[in-house]
């Protein structure tokens, strides 16, 4: 479609001549409950100025049809000015008034205005999601972040519905079988941040207030919504508690009152991401409404997301990046502030353990792809932008900011943020704007901040830090140095910890030195003369972003005593380091599994334990020598069953081990236990086999060929919900038959109306580790279809196809050769598509290297 992929050059040219004064958007969604009605009416009025009268520009719009276009009172022929993606705007005046009356399509992909009908009660729900550039699916606009403007929304909806938008409700009037909702004008915001949520949502309300320095009181109405059928499970009080804690924290630290009036948090179905920071109307995936028992780690993760999105109200909404090159200016800060606020303002005190163990694992993986990029990236167009919501922009950026706080000091960092907000409120910024204030508040100066930026923000890749020790005849350290490798050597603020065994057997830190590591080798003079410890931990306390390596003696200690490390964060860092060694082929995968088998049962942090489960299963599936898979699977399943039976009844650990058993069960006795738990003929004290756990068990049995279509249909009747429908689809696709694989493939490939959530369910069920022979024939079909799917489907669905159907479990040279052939034959394929395939290829090649290392 011409012009659909907006480029940075086009956006810069447009911003060079246009500025926007205001939008008025009227959406008529009264027909939404009728599934046969594919479109809604969208009428947009834009007031904008042009510095070059007589120039031609364009507005963005993805619509099924345009009824009328009026520019400065002139009626323009839609057939002439609208090409399906853009509205041409000829002969602009200094001051302009544009009115576009269009019919836009309801979405089933989570992009634009998404429509969902609840199978539980037949109710219809709508919500919008735009980032980075999908607001044009809902109303005509200038779809780029630096053309900010105030918005006034009007929505005509069925009378029984409620409607939410960025602004507070101004008025609601009856209009026959409908109501017209008018909302107050917003502050200037970017197109991708606007939002509308509509439907018969259940709502809970609360209030937060704060006395300001000038003596006035800031009062913020709070709302939290979910679908009516989820209302019995909606713990709004807990959501409001975290929300208020966050508002307290950010007001204390940022010294800039929340600027967007109200604070609604809407939990919506079939959401593509975790949440979106629409000012005044934040949207979340409704999986954060827990209808079954989950572990404390799930509540912590939700609280982190709530605070992440709240941080965006300042970093991203109040002050917005000029173009997607500086996406990190909002996402890195929000990712960092989510963990920071969680640790300082809520009951979730272990957030930095989670950050070290989970978020940074995402960054390390992303940063080793051939497609890695600096934190400040080169974003050529909005397709590039879509793919840069990745582990670099989020987790690596947050890790670097964590180090910046250690480098510059906490107060200097927050004072810089305060000045940044005041200087650029409701505007747009680039990297230099932030560095300018941090240079002053940190006292480091412009040159030091520029050097730091070049090393950390403008280069790609991850360094490895390794301790090097020399010891005298008496066993004392004569020299300890930190070795740094990597393409770019960076300054690291690190702590080096020495750990020794105590009389009770615990490994505890006995000495610590904090220093700046620079260059290839940095001595740690402070620790010379001490007895040689059992373990040397570089990057203790997780101050910097690096891969931790070990000297030979320390690694030997970990093989025998990893579980004896007393400190939770230190233990999490060691687990993370061992996983990186495994991924890099430096630790045989079966040795990593041995560590899990020995010590996972002693892991006290539930989030770390669940990560170990995921990583151990991943190592078994693709990293171990194929000849060892059966033995490794048996050992993991035995471990899972053993730990399940000894876990405290009703505990989070018990639930985690039950789920892990379902994922690893291979022997008949284990599968019979799963069947018994479902049937009620087997019971484990304290284990509640609730609906979500039932689906985990059914999916495992389906993959093992021990669940029939009739049984899965019966379970779906028992759980006739949105979640139940997705889980049933996944279980059906997981069955070990050629017919099941063909049906899953066809559902995605042959039906472009399949919703985003169902595409994900089909691909998740399709690929099963013990079914490689069944899915192998689809490798050639996959590569044949890649470009067609990319061209014909929305980018969200195309991304799910590329990643979901890539033959990642076909870990052999033939699959790698097929991937290489596709890449070699299609140098002109869409850059974003090539990037995804390159990343899949890298994971496959890494798996082959790990298998070779595991064979010895």
Distance (Å, whole) CA 726 – CA 760: 9
Residue 11, φ and ψ in degrees, nearest 5: -65, -40
Please identify which residue in the block is written with the tokens 């991708």.
Answer: 192
Long-range interactions of 708-711: CB distance < 8 A, separation 24+ = 709/735
Structure tokens at 760: 């994900």
Torsion-angle region of 418 (φ positive above 0: left; ψ -120 to 50: alpha; else: beta):
alpha
Least Cα distance to 229 among 123, 128, 113 occurs for: 123
CA distance 324 to 792: 24
DSSP string, 777-830: THHHHHHHHHHHHHHHS-HHHHHHHHHHHS-TT--SHHHHHHHHHHHHH-TTS-
CA triple 611-332-268, angle to 5 deg: 70
Catalytic residue among 309, 415, 715, 839: 309
Cis, bond preceding 132 (omega within 30 deg of 0): yes
- Alpha-carbon distance of 801 to 760, in angstroms, equals 9
Q: Catalytic annotation on 566? A: no
Q: Which of 506, 495, 592, 492 is nearest to 546 (CA)?
A: 492
Cα 468 from chain centroid?
37
Q: How would you class 348 by CB atoms within 10 Å of its CB: exposed for 0-12, middle for 13-18, buried for 19 or more?
A: buried
**What is the token pair recorded at 557?**
């200690």
Single out the residue of 465, 305, 320, 459 nearest to residue 394, CA to CA. Answer: 305
Which DSSP symbol is given to 565? B
Residue from 667, 656, 497 nearest 566 by CA: 497
Take residue 366 and report the two structure tokens written for it. 């992303």
Q: What is the 3-state secondary structure (H, E, C) of 167-199?
A: CCEEEEEEECCEEEEEECCCCCECHHHCCEEEE
Pick the closest to residue 768 from 746, 744, 749, 802 (CA basis). 744
Helices (H), 409-510: 410-424, 431-442, 445-456
Phi, psi of 750 (to 5 degrees): -95, -5
Structure tokens at 404: 């910046």
Residue where the block lists tokens 């907006």:
6
Return the DSSP state at 705.
T
Distance between CA 638 and CA 265 in Å, rounded?
Answer: 43
Among residues 221, 53, 208, 45, the alpha carbon closest in space to that of 139 is found at 45
Q: Report the greatest alpha carbon distance in the chain.
A: 93
Angle at 376 between CA 372 and CA 379, to 5 degrees: 75
166 vs 192: CA distance, rounded Å: 12
CA 533 from centroid of its chain's CA atoms: 39
Q: Which residues contact 524 (CB under 8 A, 6 or more apart)?
A: 480, 481, 482, 496, 513, 515
Catalytically active residues are 309
């Amino acid at each position: 479609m011409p012009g659909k992929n907006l480029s940075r050059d086009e956006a810069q040219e447009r911003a060079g001549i246009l500025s926007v004064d205001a939008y008025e958007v009227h959406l008529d969604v009264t027909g939404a409950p009728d599934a046969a009605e594919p479109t809604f009416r969208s009428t947009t009025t834009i007031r904008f100025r042009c510095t070059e009268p007589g120039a031609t520009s364009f507005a963005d719009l993805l619509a099924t049809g345009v009824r009328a276009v009026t520019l400065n009172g002139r009626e323009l022929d839609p057939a002439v000015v609208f090409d399906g993606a853009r509205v041409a705007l000829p002969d602009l005046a200094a001051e302009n008034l544009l009115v576009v009356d269009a019919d836009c399509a309801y979405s089933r992909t989570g992009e634009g205005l998404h429509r969902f009908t609840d199978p539980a009660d037949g109710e219809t729900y709508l919500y919008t999601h735009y980032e980075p550039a999908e607001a044009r699916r809902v109303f005509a606009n200038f779809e780029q972040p630096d053309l900010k403007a105030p918005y006034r929304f009007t929505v005509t909806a069925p009378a029984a519905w409620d409607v939410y938008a960025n602004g507070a409700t101004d008025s609601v009037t009856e209009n026959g079988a409908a109501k017209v909702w008018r909302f107050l004008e917003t502050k200037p915001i970017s197109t991708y941040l606007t939002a509308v949520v509509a439907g018969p949502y259940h709502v809970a309300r609360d209030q937060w207030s704060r006395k300001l320095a000038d003596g006035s009181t800031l009062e913020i109405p709070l709302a939290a919504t979910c679908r009516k059928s989820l209302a019995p499970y909606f713990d709004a009080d807990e959501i409001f508690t975290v929300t208020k804690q966050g508002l307290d924290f950010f007001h204390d630290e940022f010294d800039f009152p929340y600027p967007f009036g109200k604070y609604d948090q809407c939990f919506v179905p079939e959401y593509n991401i975790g949440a979106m920071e629409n000012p005044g109307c934040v949207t979340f995936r409704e999986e954060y409404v827990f209808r079954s028992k989950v572990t404390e780690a799930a509540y912590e993760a939700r609280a982190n997301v709530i605070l992440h999105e709240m941080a965006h109200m300042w970093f991203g909404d109040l002050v917005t990046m000029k173009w997607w090159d500086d996406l990190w200016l909002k996402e890195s800060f929000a990712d960092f502030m989510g963990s920071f606020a969680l640790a300082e303002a809520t009951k979730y005190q272990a957030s930095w353990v989670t950050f070290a163990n989970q978020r940074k694992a995402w960054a390390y993986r992303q940063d080793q792809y051939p497609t890695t990029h600096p934190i400040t990236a080169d974003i050529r167009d909005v397709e590039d932008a879509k793919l840069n919501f990745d582990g670099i922009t989020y987790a690596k950026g947050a890790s670097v900011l964590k180090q910046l706080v250690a480098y510059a000091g906490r107060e200097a960092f927050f004072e810089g943020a305060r000045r940044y907000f005041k200087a650029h409120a409701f505007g747009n910024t680039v990297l230099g704007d932030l560095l300018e204030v941090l240079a002053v508040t940190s006292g480091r100066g412009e040159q030091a901040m520029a050097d730091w930026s070049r090393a950390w923000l403008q280069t790609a890749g991850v360094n490895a830090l390794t301790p090097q020790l020399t010891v005298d005849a008496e066993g004392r350290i004569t020299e300890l140095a930190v070795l740094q490798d990597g393409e770019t050597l960076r300054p690291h603020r690190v702590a080096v910890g020495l750990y020794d065994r105590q009389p009770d057997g615990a490994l505890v830190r006995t000495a610590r030195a904090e220093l700046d590591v620079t260059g290839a080798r940095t001595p740690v003079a402070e620790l010379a003369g001490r007895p040689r410890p059992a373990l040397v931990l570089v990057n203790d306390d997780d101050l910097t972003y690096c891969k931790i390596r070990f000297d030979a003696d320390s690694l030997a200690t970990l093989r025998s005593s990893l579980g004896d490390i007393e400190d939770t964060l230190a233990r999490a860092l060691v687990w993370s380091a061992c996983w990186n060694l495994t991924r890099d082929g430096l630790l045989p995968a079966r040795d990593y599994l041995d560590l899990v088998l020995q010590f996972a049962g002693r892991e006290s942090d539930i989030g770390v334990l669940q990560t170990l489960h995921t990583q151990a299963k991943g190592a078994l599936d693709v990293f171990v020598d194929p000849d060892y898979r059966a033995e490794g699977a048996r050992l993991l399943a035995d471990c899972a069953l053993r730990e399940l039976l000894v876990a405290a009844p009703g505990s989070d650990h018990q639930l985690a081990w039950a789920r892990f058993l379902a994922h690893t069960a291979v022997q008949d006795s284990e599968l019979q236990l799963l069947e018994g738990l479902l049937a009620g003929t087997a019971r484990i004290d304290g284990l509640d086999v609730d609906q979500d756990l039932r689906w985990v068990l059914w999916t495992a049995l389906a993959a093992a060929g021990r669940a029939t279509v009739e049984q899965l249909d019966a379970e779906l009747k028992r759980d006739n919900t949105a979640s139940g429908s997705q889980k049933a689809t996944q279980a059906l696709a997981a069955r070990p038959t050629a017919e099941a694989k063909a049906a899953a493939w066809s559902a995605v490939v042959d039906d472009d109306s399949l919703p985003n959530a169902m595409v994900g369910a089909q691909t998740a069920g399709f690929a099963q580790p013990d079914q490689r022979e069944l899915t192998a024939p689809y490798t050639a079909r996959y590569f044949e279809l890649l470009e067609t799917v990319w061209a014909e489907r929305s980018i969200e669905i195309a991304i799910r196809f590329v990643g979901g159907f890539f033959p990642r479990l076909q870990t052999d040279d033939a699959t790698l050769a097929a991937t290489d052939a596709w890449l070699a034959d299609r140098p002109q394929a869409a850059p974003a598509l090539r990037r995804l395939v390159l990343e899949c290829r890298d994971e496959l090649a890494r798996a082959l290297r790990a298998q070779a290392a595991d064979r010895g």
